[in-house]
């Protein structure tokens, strides 16, 4: 098994590479670290490659890169994969930052490029756009979610953070709650790409910046229950859903086995688990300007009259504490009557 440490970059194909370079530099706030006629490399302001654009007829996400521990022997990793029945090939000059990688396809057909050593892009001193900290996660739709999860856990060292029912999986390779998602759908396709921003004030700034550029949110701001990240969603010029998020659940210590306790958690402690199909997608309630996001099957229409949420529906831990208080009081009463 390999041990992935972090996501590198996602390769996106586009019919209009100039339009997408403009979007990713001016709106998202990545910097253009290299380009030729049919390809562009985009990095965060701090020089970590995040997106590779390639000119093509269709909008797809055909490749995804991951980093293993620096200094790892790629040849040894390839033979380890071979023993497990996965054929890989050696590739070089993946991007300006990635000289060497081994490449193979995952079960749904995405080519994974595994690299160990990485060179940062030059610093971009310009402050413009949303300027995310990093490429945070990518969600795919595919028919065989269980098969994809098994491959990522058995071959790449991912851990399952949470499931929604048996159709939506959240996998981590670092302390972040999820770096890849798989959502069941008959057709394999990209669902969304997410960039992490610093905090809530960056989310607010992103909302204003998007609106200033006539890009309307399709969902949010919300706080997810699964992962608990604050998130906003919009569509880029190619129609791909882009998320900006902050405040995602953190598993600081795998041995402890729970996410860092936070006041908005439903369980105490919050451990990886299977959430019911009915789990709300937005802890704060329905807040959607556009049509329901596909990842929000429980999203309710924005005009729905507000109703009182039963404590147990929203925060089982708080509900249990409330129940204990009630029991204590009635016990005291009964005692005083005796
Ligand atoms: Fe997401």
- Indicate the Cα dihedral angle 22, 23, 28, 33, nearest 10°: -40
Q: Return the closest-CA partner of residue 181 out of 227, 153, 139, 141.
A: 139
Indicate if the pLDDT at residue 122 is higher than 60.
yes
Q: Residue 182 C-alpha to ligand 1 middle, in angstroms?
A: 11
Q: Residue 323 C-alpha to ligand 1 middle, in angstroms?
A: 34
CB 183 within 8 A of CB 168: yes
Numbers of helices and strands, H then E, in the chain: 6, 17
Q: Residue 14 C-alpha to ligand 1 middle, in angstroms?
A: 21
Residue 278 is predicted with a pLDDT of 87
Q: Residue 263 C-alpha to ligand 1 middle, in angstroms?
A: 21
Rounded to whole angstroms, the Cα distance separating 229 from 179 reads 13
Q: Residue 193 C-alpha to ligand 1 middle, in angstroms?
A: 7
Q: Residue 79 C-alpha to ligand 1 middle, in angstroms?
A: 33
Indicate if the pLDDT at residue 309 is higher than 70.
no
Q: Residue 338 C-alpha to ligand 1 middle, in angstroms?
A: 57
pTM: 0.86
Q: Which residue has the higher pLDDT, 324 or 179?
A: 179
Q: Residue 295 C-alpha to ligand 1 middle, in angstroms?
A: 8
Q: Residue 194 C-alpha to ligand 1 middle, in angstroms?
A: 6
Q: Residue 137 C-alpha to ligand 1 middle, in angstroms?
A: 7
**Bridge partner list, 64:** 10, 112
Q: Residue 291 C-alpha to ligand 1 middle, in angstroms?
A: 17
Residue 93 is predicted with a pLDDT of 96
Q: Residue 179 C-alpha to ligand 1 middle, in angstroms?
A: 9
Indicate if the pLDDT at residue 305 is higher than 50.
no
How much is the average pLDDT of 22-44? 97
- Would you place residue 123 in the very low, low, confident or very high pLDDT band (cuts 50, 70, 90)? confident
Rounded to whole angstroms, the Cα distance separating 178 from 171 reads 5
Q: Residue 5 C-alpha to ligand 1 middle, in angstroms?
A: 19
- Would you place residue 330 in the very low, low, confident or very high pLDDT band (cuts 50, 70, 90)? low
Residue 296 is predicted with a pLDDT of 42
- Would you place residue 307 in the very low, low, confident or very high pLDDT band (cuts 50, 70, 90)? very low
Residue 190 is predicted with a pLDDT of 97
Q: Residue 330 C-alpha to ligand 1 middle, in angstroms?
A: 45
CB 235 within 8 A of CB 241: yes
Residue 319 is predicted with a pLDDT of 45
Q: What is the SS3 assignment for 329? A: helix
Q: Return the closest-CA partner of residue 13 out of 67, 64, 48.
A: 64
Q: What is the pLDDT of residues 205-252, one digit of tens each?
A: 999 999 999 999 999 999 999 999 999 999 999 999 999 999 999 999
Q: Residue 333 C-alpha to ligand 1 middle, in angstroms?
A: 49
Q: Residue 261 C-alpha to ligand 1 middle, in angstroms?
A: 21
Q: Residue 165 C-alpha to ligand 1 middle, in angstroms?
A: 17
Burial (CB count <10 Å: 0-12, 13-18, 19+), residue 108: middle
CB 155 within 8 A of CB 86: yes
- Would you place residue 301 in the very low, low, confident or very high pLDDT band (cuts 50, 70, 90)? very low
């Amino acid at each position: 098994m390999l041990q992935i440490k972090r996501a590198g970059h996602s390769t996106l194909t586009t019919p209009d590479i100039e339009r997408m370079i403009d979007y990713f530099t001016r709106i998202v706030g990545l910097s253009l670290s290299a380009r030729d006629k049919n390809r562009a490399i985009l990095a965060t302001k701090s020089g970590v490659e995040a997106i590779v654009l390639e000119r093509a007829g269709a909008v797809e996400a055909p490749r995804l890169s991951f980093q293993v521990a620096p200094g790892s022997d790629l040849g040894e990793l390839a033979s380890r994969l071979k023993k497990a029945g996965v054929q890989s090939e050696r590739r070089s000059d993946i991007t300006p930052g990635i000289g060497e990688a081994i490449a193979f396809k995952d079960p749904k057909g995405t080519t994974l490029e595994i690299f160990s050593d990485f060179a940062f892009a030059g610093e971009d001193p310009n402050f413009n756009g949303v300027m995310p900290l990093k490429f945070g996660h990518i969600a795919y739709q595919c028919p065989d979610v269980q098969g994809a999860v098994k491959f990522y856990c058995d071959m790449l060292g991912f851990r399952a953070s949470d499931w929604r029912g048996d159709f939506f999986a959240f996998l981590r390779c670092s302390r972040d709650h999820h770096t890849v998602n798989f959502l069941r759908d008959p057709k394999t396709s990209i669902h969304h790409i997410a960039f992490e921003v610093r905090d809530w004030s960056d989310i607010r700034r992103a909302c204003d910046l998007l609106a200033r550029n006539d890009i309307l949110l399709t969902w949010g701001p919300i706080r997810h229950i699964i992962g608990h990240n604050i998130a906003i969603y919009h569509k880029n010029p190619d129609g791909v859903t882009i998320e900006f998020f902050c405040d995602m659940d953190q598993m600081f210590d795998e041995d402890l086995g729970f996410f860092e306790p936070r006041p908005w958690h439903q369980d105490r402690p919050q451990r990886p688990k299977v959430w019911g199909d009915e789990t709300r997608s937005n802890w704060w309630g329905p807040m959607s300007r556009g049509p329901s996001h596909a990842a929000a099957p429980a999203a309710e229409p924005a005009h729905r009259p507000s109703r009182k949420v039963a404590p147990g529906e929203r925060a089982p831990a708080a509900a249990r504490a409330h129940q204990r208080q009630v029991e204590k009081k009635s016990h005291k009463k009964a005692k005083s009557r005796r």
